[in-house]
Amino acid sequence: MEFFQTDEPDVEKPIIIAAMQDMGNVGSIVVNFINDSLRTKKFRVAKSPFPTYVLDQGGYIDLPNESWEYRYADGLIVFGGDTGQPQSNQELHSLCQDVIDTSKKYSAKFIYTLGGFHTNRPLNKNPKTFVTTTSEELTKQMRGLQVNTTPQKSIITGFNGLILGFAKQNGIQGIGMYGELNEPQIPQYRAAISIIKTLEKLTYRKLGNTDRLELLAQEIEKNFEN
């Protein structure tokens, strides 16, 4: 994994929001929404030097652009979004470590990550967000705020789980937020909305109007029902 610093952000002790594409595209939907809504500015890029696949364009191939951006706004650093995740453990670990190193550089004390939570429970267009944290004490605080915590033991794979492990190893508090979904193959805008509302509650900051995500959710549901 290669990293390129393109700017020096004017941030001090920011909140870190870091998530990559996962089931239902939930992590990417939330990160891309925050970047668009808050008009964040790019300051660092992570790029995979070796492609793990090629794109057949119908008789000729293109190479994928496997890169992910760090962006910032007032008191906030946002990483990830867009498409894909590193395909090797070495690159995934390198990426997680760079997020930690960037967090330390700007004295961040908190990392949030985001993703999908697969369930068979009928959601009735109202998915819940479940959180898990880097300590039992922090989890108790979440329950005190009436935030749902993950209901059972499980393994969380990929960047949106592993980054919490890296945070814990480095003494940084972290919270993973996972929105319920039934169909992992379909973009899950309602799960993303649920996460955004929970994130706003915990960070005491407005992240943007989610009406457009609601319209996208309705469009997906209409097409899926047909």
What does the chain come to in residues?
A: 226
| pLDDT value of residue 171 | 94
Q: Give 129's pLDDT tier (boundaries 50, 70, 90).
A: very high
The residues near 2 (Cβ < 8 Å, ≥ 6 apart) are 46, 47, 48, 49
The residues near 166 (Cβ < 8 Å, ≥ 6 apart) are 96, 97, 99, 100
Tens-digit pLDDT profile for residues 5-15: 999 998 989 99
- Mean pLDDT for all residues in the chain: 91
| pLDDT value of residue 225 | 67
**pTM of the entire structure?**
0.91
Q: Average pLDDT in the 217-226 region?
A: 80
Q: Average pLDDT in the 44-67 region?
A: 85
| CA distance linking residue 79 with residue 211, whole number of Å | 23
Q: Average pLDDT in the 203-213 region?
A: 93
pLDDT higher than 90, residue 222: no
The percentage of residues in the chain with a pLDDT greater than 70, rounded to a whole number, is: 99
Look up the domain containing 75 and give its range.
2-225
Structurally, the chain folds into a number of domains equal to 1
**Concatenated DSSP letters of the chain:** -EEEE------SS-EEEEEE--GGGHHHHHHHHHHHHHT-EEEEEEE-SS-S--EE-SSSEE----EEEEEEETTEEEEEESS---SSHHHHHHHHHHHHHHHHHTT--EEEEEEEEE--S--TT---EEEEESSHHHHHHHHHTTPPBP-S-----SHHHHHHHHHHHTT-EEEEEEEEES-TTS--HHHHHHHHHHHHHHHTS-----HHHHHHHHHHHHHHH-
Q: Average pLDDT in the 200-210 region?
A: 93
| CA distance linking residue 212 with residue 67, whole number of Å | 26
Q: Give 156's pLDDT tier (boundaries 50, 70, 90).
A: confident
CATH of residue 127: 3.40.50.10900
Tens-digit pLDDT profile for residues 66-125: 889 999 999 999 999 877 788 788 989 999 999 999 999 999 989 999 999 998 888 888
Instruction: Give the Å distances, CA to CA, from 93 to 1, 107, 172, 177, 215.
Output: 10, 21, 17, 20, 36
pLDDT higher than 60, residue 226: no
Tens-digit pLDDT profile for residues 14-46: 999 999 988 899 999 999 999 999 999 999 999
Instruction: Give the Å distances, CA to CA, from 38 to 33, 86, 93, 134, 166.
Output: 8, 26, 29, 27, 27
Q: Average pLDDT in the 128-146 region?
A: 94
